[in-house]
Each structure stands twice: as structure tokens, then as C-alpha cells.
Structure 1
């Protein structure tokens, strides 16, 4: 498995343009046309694709009236033509396209999903609101420029609806995926329909996320057997899809991503990825969720009440779903030290249950791969002190590798 770790990976200048000092000037230029004055800004999502990088910002703005508000902006920098319907700012060398939320050029349905009047009509069409009700309250639950957004709509009577916004070409497929899971008896949010501009309307589920439950003083958690049973219920037809590349197969890619933001760690992560790939085995190819971690599992009273985000479901290695949950829980102990003991106990119970079904050493190698994949997370969300947090995650992946080797030796 070739693993490369160049000091400056493709796209790094674009990322630096969107997160460095020039980003403030770019945002101020964008605000001039609408009469705003930039008070402060913070990038909170940074992602790179083959031909460009995108970023999302939280921006404090003072308006001519004296009012101060927090706004969301998005920006793109890269090769080729900029996205349409954006403000393009350039200096003759670099070009940056900027947009104000919710007018993401890649997510045309977002403007509708964030329009209270339009959403009120949608709620009425599903008998979740009545004519004359107050406009619904809209909350941005997730926003990743270019990729997706989730808007929670809360009607005057308390009824909730989640509007998932994706690129238009993906909406029909996502709607069919939810219907497929519902028909198979898997507790997923029922899809109530989709629009041509990329909005999928999803019903709310009872309960709350497993991550939220882990924060409770007396957490009521589903058992490892219940987690395994949920995965066993995934629609059998998913196994007919093209097989997803596993976390193990992508270890080299993640090592390169870490090295691109922390060049001094290049050799270290290269060796880590090479060991994961060379030493770790594989599991059975089965239906998989593809991004199975504690925020995707909905629980109430210790029971599983839902499974979210089906975009990545398909055929894959069973080790991946199990390791994804364990890896995220492992990282969560670093993110929330106050809950570390509760999370660690839960992770240990799930590990004990899962290794009854798959090879214990291979499972640990796969967890190491998942943790390595999460190592650039602090950079992507522009966390304060992201360099230190990234190194902690690399160290955590190395500990999982050490554990895998110890189990292999017996």
C-alpha cells in the first residue's frame, strides 16, 4: 500500500487562503455590498476536494442600523470555474467565491428549507400545522458547504420535521433509501417526500442520540447485543451494491491528510497506516451503515429507537461499522473528559460484545484506522489548539495498534 506524505499536499494553499488572515478581508469585501461591517469571524468547517476547498464561517456583523447579528457564510477557492451565483473576489492570482447562508450554490434547496413561510406550507401539507399558526422555528442542525445541511422545523403545536438538504441529484436516492429501510423494519426517520431542488422531508423520531445519553448521570444505554441486532436488520439487498472501501484500505489516504496539516508527523502517520494495512485482516462483506457512530443511534429508556444518516449505507466489511462506533467513543473520551469514565465503560462493554462476533485483533486494527481517519477533525472544524488535538488522536490510534498486536500475539 503506497502511502505518500508530501510536506504540502494538493489544495493546501486554498485551505490557507480560506482560513488565514486574508479570509477576514474576503468576508469584509463580501459584506460591503450589503452594507455590513465585519466585527469578527471564525471558520468552523474546512474541507478539501480534488479541485477546490470550501469553508463555512460564523461571522459577527454590524449593520447600518447599529444592529449586530451572527451570520453564516460559505466560501470556495480552487481550480476551474467558481460555483455559479456567488460573489467572486480576486486579486489577479487567486479567486474566492463567497455566499451568504442559506444561498449555497451547491445546495439550491437550502434557501427554501430555511424560509419560514415555505416550511410552514410544508408542515401544513403533512398535517403538522394549521392555517393561521405562528411561523415555525427553524434551527440549523448541521451545515457542511457543498455537501449537506439539516434544518429542524418546530411548529407552533410542537410538531417537528427535519429537512435534509443535499445536492439535487442525490435527493431521490436518499428518499428511496429511507423507504427501503422503513420497509425492512429498521427504525429510521420515515421520508415524507423530496423535492427536485434537493430537500428530503424526514419525520422526527422519539428519544435522543446515544451521545446525549452518555452525558446523563445515570445513562441508560442499549446493550452490545442490541447494537449487533440493529446492524443485522439492515436491508439484505444492500449487500448487492458495490463494496465500500474499508477504513483499513483508506488508512494511507488519512495518513496523507494528517501529514498535509502536520508535516512533522508525516513519517509517524505513514508508519502507522502501513502497519494497519499490512497487519489487519478483513471481516465478512455484509450490509453496512457506513458511518455508524454514537450520534447516528437514537435511544430512549435504554432501547434503540432510530438510526440516522443513511447516505453511506451499502455493502461493506462488518468490521467497519463496529470499529466506527468504538473509534468514535474512544475519541469522545478526549472530547468530553467529564464523561470519559462513562464513555470508556460503554466502549469496553461494546468491545466485549463485538469481539464475540469478529476477530478481536482485526477489530482493534480497524478501530486504529477509524481513529486515524478522525485525526484531522480538529483542523476541519478549526478547533482552538487543533495541532495538539490532532496529535492526541494519532497517539490514540497508536494505542489501538499496540492493543491489536498484543491480542494477535495471544
Structure 2
């Protein structure tokens, strides 16, 4: 309550981001280390994750020492840690007291939940998935330790760990617990349809075990399609192969609940772009309104089985000096009913942004031009360009974390794609 007795005004998400990235975070970082007998010596903000309307989450690299040695002015053994902090409201089922390595602190009147990696308060399988001895024993049925690498981590959302042991490799996917069963079912459906998704290496661990909500998957051949397309003179790539892949998505996907496509959330994601690139707030808001109007005006076609996050980073490819072939389809978390144009727009929006951010990679530019022409023949061009523009706008916040220039180039790409709905040419 404020002094007049009214409700306290909540900080904007821009203010929350500044709070988590500012010097005042030192005290909450010290608070989360205190139960462990440590005190921070140095810390650095690594990155922030913003989900519009759902708070800000940040990660920090921290060097700490035992408190007793630090208070005595004696050098102690330095400990290197990663700490997460969030202003987001956590799901009620995760609030079961304060597990070891987590605390709730207050910064300028804002409640912040902090944890020491890997004790993410939502991703309950992450401690097991980052335990080298446990993974060697449980996944590879071996002794010693596995070599582990955290290849993807969205705090409170999902993580992927690459595990190697005695020449074998597996990937451990850690989703939110409530989503684990649905993801397993999606992978099984896609595999049954003959799609090149990662094979599951277990039938599902016992309920209540440390690895209950972790999916253990085999590795697939190939490298990221985005990487394969970068060089000048890259092997020939046939966009029709992507359409063929989408045609093979299982009919059973239609039984899942439909998730809104990226284009349907463009105004929401514009808020995230404003937080990341505040000086362009008017430009972003105007663009989001124009994109939303263009999306509403164009026919997206019927609902069909859809991947939901179909881009070159979620595709693997193998090839020789002449041709590339798709060898892997990753991240089927959003498999369900959707519009074909949204999958094509997702691929095109990502590729056009990647090309703009890497002008030295002529292979990306050539692939973007090829896909633009091909996809415009496969679906309604106005729907394609409007929805690709929406996808590009959703990428502004992530690009801006690499610098204002990257954010500006991504915003300009969204504008360029939207202009194609008027000119009829991408």
C-alpha cells in the first residue's frame, strides 16, 4: 500500500530489468550465498531473459569465498558459481519451502527469487542432469564421470545438457515438470511418423526419482542447418525439402491443444522489444500495430499439424560439397494444430534476421532469397510476409542483448518484411 492507502504501483518491466542488472543486486547475491557459508567477491551480469507479462530473469557469474576467511581478511579458496534471479511469480507447485541454494530477497521493494545453479526452482531435474557421476551411472550404465556441457538454458523454462561417456553421446532435456509427459508423447508421435527426431533412450524413469522429468535422447548426425548455410558457395539447399518435412508431421498432433502462433502474440512481444530497445519504443509500437493489422487481413489457411518453432536452428543437415539433406528435427515441444504459413514464416523470419546480422555470410543471404521466393509460391504471400515480420519482431529483444546495433538491424528486418506485403515481393 502507498501512503494514501491505495495499491502500490508495480514497477514496469523496463524498471525490473534495470533493477536486476544494476549494482543493487549485490545484496541479494550475498543473501543467496550466506546459507552456503560464502560471500561474493566479484560478480558479473551474464544475460537477462524477458517474457512479456511474466517478469524478468537474469543470470550472473559470481566468484565467492568462504565467509569466515573473508571476514578475517585471509585469502580463501575461490569458488566459481552461477546464480539466477527472477521477478517472475513461480508456479504454486514449486513453492515448497526454500530448497538448499535458493532464497527470496527484496530489492527496492520488489521480491526476487534467487538460486544457485543448478537448483533452478522450476526445473527440478536439472541437478541430476548436471551431476556427472549420476549421468554416467544412470544413462551410460558406466563408472566414473560423464563429460557434461549445458548447451541451452532458459531459466525456469527448459535446459539441454550434452553428455559424453566412453565414446557415447546423449542429450538430456529438462522441461518444466508439467510439460515432460506431453513432450515425451510428441517425440513418440513424431518418431512413429518417420520424422528424424531424436530417439528416446529410456521408457520414462520412475515417478519420484531424481530424473523423473528429464528426457534422455540419442544424438543425431549433422550440424545446424543455419551453420551449414553460412559459407559462400554452400551446398545446394532445396526449400521444398522443408515443406516435405512439414507434410510428414503426424495427424495425431491435431489432438493437442492449440498454442497461439508467434504472429498472434506480436503486440505482446513488441513490449519485450521496447524493454530491450527503449529508444525505439514509438517505432516498435507503430510497427507492431501495422503487423497485427496485416496479419488479421491475410488468410492463414486451414489448421494442420504444425511444428510450432520451425527454424534452421532446430534442424540438422548433412551433405557433401553439392547438396544438403535434413538429418534431424529438434524441439517438437510445440507440436500441435497450427497454420502451415506460420511454420514457413518462422523459418523465413529467423533466416532473414540471421542474414541481416551476418552480412559477410553470403550463403545466408542466398538461402534467404531462395526461401523467400519458394515459400511465397507455397502459401499466401501477404500472410507469409506479415507473419515473418512478426517473427522478426519477436527476435528484437534477443538480438538487442548482443548490442543496440543488432537489435536495430533485427527491427529493420521486420520492417522490410512487412513492406513486402505492400509490394508483393520479398
- Distance in 2, Cα, partners of 1:39 & 1:54: 20
Matching residue of 2:188: 179
Is residue 159 of structure 2 the alignment partner of residue 149 of structure 1?
Answer: yes
User: Cα deviation per residue 1:310-345 (whole Å; 9 max; x = unaligned)?
Assistant: 111111111111111111111112333332x11010
User: Displacement of 1:257 after TM fit?
Assistant: 2.6
- Distance in 1, Cα, partners of 2:88 & 2:190: 38
> Contact 2:24/2:107 (CA < 8 Å) preserved in 1?
no
User: Displacement of 1:356 after TM fit?
Assistant: 1.8
- Distance in 2, Cα, partners of 1:275 & 1:37: 47
User: Displacement of 1:106 after TM fit?
Assistant: 0.5
User: Displacement of 1:51 after TM fit?
Assistant: 5.4
User: Displacement of 1:226 after TM fit?
Assistant: 0.8
User: Cα deviation per residue 1:338-386 (whole Å; 9 max; x = unaligned)?
Assistant: 32x110101111122212211223211211111111111135xx43x3x
Matching residue of 2:335: 313
> Contact 1:77/1:95 (CA < 8 Å) preserved in 2?
yes
SS at match of 1:254: helix
SS at match of 2:150: strand
Root-mean-square deviation (Å): 2.6
Matching residue of 2:355: 333
Matching residue of 1:166: 175
Which of the numbers 347, 353, 367 marks the counterpart of 2:388? Answer: 367
User: Displacement of 1:74 after TM fit?
Assistant: 0.9
Is residue 407 of structure 2 the alignment partner of residue 397 of structure 1?
Answer: no
User: Displacement of 1:389 after TM fit?
Assistant: 2.7
Matching residue of 2:6: none
Query: What are the residue-to-residue correspondences of 1:264-343 with 2, within 5 Å?
Result: 264-280=279-295, 281-284=298-301, 285-301=303-319, 302-339=324-361, 341-343=362-364
User: Displacement of 1:54 after TM fit?
Assistant: 1.9
- Distance in 2, Cα, partners of 1:144 & 1:231: 26
Matching residue of 1:355: 376
User: Cα deviation per residue 1:38-72 (whole Å; 9 max; x = unaligned)?
Assistant: 32312323224645432222334467675556432
- Distance in 1, Cα, partners of 2:54 & 2:289: 27
Matching residue of 1:251: 266
Is residue 135 of structure 2 the alignment partner of residue 114 of structure 1?
Answer: no
Is residue 38 of structure 2 the alignment partner of residue 35 of structure 1?
Answer: yes
The 1:58–1:221 alpha-carbon spacing in structure 2 relative to 1, beyond 3 Å, is: farther
Query: What are the residue-to-residue correspondences of 1:191-230 with 2, within 5 Å?
Result: 191-193=200-202, 194-195=204-205, 196=207, 197-216=212-231, 218-220=233-235, 222-230=237-245
Count of aligned residue pairs for this structure pair: 390
- Distance in 1, Cα, partners of 2:11 & 2:293: 24
Is residue 86 of structure 2 the alignment partner of residue 76 of structure 1?
Answer: yes
Ranked by relative contact order (alpha carbons within 8 Å, sequence separation 6 or more), the top structure is 1
User: Displacement of 1:215 after TM fit?
Assistant: 3.6
User: Cα deviation per residue 1:240-286 (whole Å; 9 max; x = unaligned)?
Assistant: 43433233322222223323444443332222222222234132221
SS at match of 1:328: helix
Q: After superposing the two structures, state which structure 1 stretch, 225-234 or 247-256, moved more.
A: 247-256
User: Cα deviation per residue 1:293-316 (whole Å; 9 max; x = unaligned)?
Assistant: 111001111111110001111111
User: Displacement of 1:392 after TM fit?
Assistant: 2.3
SS at match of 2:352: helix
SS at match of 1:338: coil
SS at match of 2:139: helix
SS at match of 1:58: strand
> Contact 1:31/1:38 (CA < 8 Å) preserved in 2?
no
Is residue 255 of structure 2 the alignment partner of residue 232 of structure 1?
Answer: no
Q: Which runs of 5+ in 1 are unaligned?
A: 1-7, 126-130
Q: Which runs of 5+ in 2 are unaligned?
A: 1-9, 70-74
